[in-house]
Amino acid sequence: MDVNAALANASTIPFWLDTDLRPEPLPPLVEDRETDLLVVGGGFTGLWTALQAKERDPNRRVVLVEANSIGWAASGRNGGFCAASLTHGYDNGLAHLPEENDRLAQLGRENLDAIEAAVAKYGMDVEFERTGELDVATEDYQVAELREAHDPDSGFVFLDQKELAGIVKSPTYKGALWDSREVALVHPAKLCWELLRVIRELGVEVYEGTKVTDVSDATSTVRVSTRVTAESIEDCASAPCTTITAKRVALATNVFPSLLKRVSLHTVPVYDYALMTEPLTDEQMAAIGWEGRQGIGDCANRFHYYRLTADNRILFGGWDAVYHFGRKVSWKYDQRPETFETLAEHFFETFPQLAGLKFTHKWGGPIDTCSRFFSFFTSAYGKKVAMAAGFTGLGVGASRFAGTVMLDLLSGEDTQLTGLEMVRKLPLPFPPEPVAWLGIKMTTNALIKADENEGRRGPLLKVLDAVGMGFDS
């Protein structure tokens, strides 16, 4: 299969963002503002925070600012897997927060139910499908662990190779565990845009092209400095600057440099990549089955994730997790030909019956990775500022929960959520350069070796496991 031919005409625009449904740009903030709550960041976390703030108090003045456009970063580039898990899987939660892991699992299920309810309540057109996810084994050694997790009463169903072939047809599959209840699929950009519609209808002021440059304490309020970043401003030096005086501030900038220096080392930006095919014909769909339309992910350290879209395209992403020295984030890294070629090769190995299919889009983007693989929280200036970050690729669903937590923190009250160890405890920070780059490189190589050694983890990974630190996308 000539993967270069399959990739030849693929657009470099993320598929989800490449549509006429994209809202018209909103103007930047060019005048000083006072508000009860300022939300910084127009991705999932910021949007859910703004929505819940208005639901709690419809009269609360809420302003949201976004440096670029709503949903343009990770929230509009991901696979659209909306998972209940808040801890990147039950086992990872058990490793980091064993005393409250069961409680977090229940909170995650409640959070996913709340997302589904909000989609229905506000009539959001986001292509929501609660079809679950298949964790597939592509190596014999992976099957036993999946079989042990079989628990139909809890919605986890083990499928052997023959049973799985009746659901999705791939010569690479050895078996699977179907998580039938705790994963939904969405069109991520539509979710951003529909959340934008809803919060504006509820009275939230939203400004795009408005970058926050500083956050400082002003005794009873918080002073936030902004600068217009719209492309229409040719001379950055003369770009309008404004001051927002806010009673409370929620920081939802995630992968971008933290506005709170105390947690500037707690995340690293890791680049993830994905392909999108052209729509499959009825004959091609029949060749692979997949009538249940579940999301799919495989079990290796370097894994793939894939799913169907509403028009029966296949999104196929993952594998490489690329870190750039100095925690650099740049549009220049959104394209990586060698990764796209590898993904295309793996796609046709997974579905050889789709030989000749073309890819219409290829893109990448950064993920905010932390050492425990799930979100963390902090507050500042007497709990007038709250921050959430570190979702490590699990933010589609967990972002709403993060908004709930931040609003609780900003309330100044002790709640069920603010008392969680997950909320009170920070993950271990990553070291500064050059140690960060070297450590991530060594860890990546160790993960590759573990995959080649039937999942057995070597000395470095065992040490990292023991101290509660890791690297993942």
Could you report the per-residue pLDDT of 300-327, keeping only the tens digit for each? 889 999 999 999 999 999 999 999 999 9
Q: How confident is the model at residue 211 (pLDDT cuts 50, 70, 90)?
A: very high
Could you report the per-residue pLDDT of 401-448, keeping only the tens digit for each? 999 999 999 999 999 999 999 999 999 999 999 999 999 999 888 888
Could you report the per-residue pLDDT of 328-375, keeping only the tens digit for each? 999 999 999 999 999 999 999 999 999 999 999 999 999 999 999 999
Q: How confident is the model at residue 233 (pLDDT cuts 50, 70, 90)?
A: low
Give me the mean pLDDT over the 74-78 stretch.
96
Average pLDDT, the chain: 95
Residue 472 has pLDDT above 80, yes or no: no
pLDDT at res. 471: 54
Residue 379 has pLDDT above 80, yes or no: yes
The bridge status of strand 304-308 relative to strand 314-318 is antiparallel
pLDDT at res. 329: 94
Residue 238 has pLDDT above 90, yes or no: no
pLDDT at res. 448: 87
Residue 473 has pLDDT above 50, yes or no: no
pLDDT at res. 174: 97
Closest Cα to residue 304, out of 268, 269, 273, 337?
273
pLDDT at res. 232: 46
Grouping H, G, I as helix, E, B as strand and the rest as coil, residue 148 is helix
Residue 164 has pLDDT above 60, yes or no: yes
Q: Helices 101-121 and 395-411 sit at what angle, rounded to 10 degrees?
A: 100
Q: Is 177 exposed, middle or buried (0-12, 13-18, 19+ CB in 10 A)?
A: buried
Residue 91: C-alpha distances to residues 21, 87, 350 (Å): 39, 9, 27
Q: How confident is the model at residue 461 (pLDDT cuts 50, 70, 90)?
A: confident
Could you report the per-residue pLDDT of 48-68, keeping only the tens digit for each? 999 999 999 999 999 999 999
Give me the mean pLDDT over the 189-206 stretch.
98
User: Which residues have CB under 8 Å from 29's CB, separation 6+?
Assistant: 63, 65, 207, 210, 226, 228, 242, 244
Measured at the CA of 14, the angle between CA 12 and CA 20, to 5 degrees, comes to 105
Q: How confident is the model at residue 390 (pLDDT cuts 50, 70, 90)?
A: very high
pLDDT at res. 451: 84
CB atoms within 10 A of CB 442: 14
pLDDT at res. 230: 58
DSSP string, 294-340: -EEEE-SSS-EEEEE-TTS-EEEEES--EE-TTT---GGGG--HHHH
**How many angstroms separate the CA atoms of 429 and 95, rounded?**
17
Instruction: Give the whole-number percent of the chain exceeding pLDDT 90.
Output: 90
User: Which residues have CB under 8 Å from 299's CB, separation 6+?
Assistant: 135, 136, 137, 138, 139, 142, 145, 146
Could you report the per-residue pLDDT of 14-31, keeping only the tens digit for each? 999 999 999 999 999 999
Give me the mean pLDDT over the 143-160 stretch.
96
Instruction: Give the whole-number percent of the chain exceeding pLDDT 70.
Output: 97
Could you report the per-residue pLDDT of 82-132, keeping only the tens digit for each? 999 999 999 999 999 999 999 999 999 999 999 999 999 999 999 999 999
pLDDT at res. 431: 94
Q: Which is higher by pLDDT, 12 or 468?
A: 12
pLDDT at res. 236: 55
Entry pTM: 0.95
CA dihedral 37, 221, 413, 411 (to 10 degrees): 0
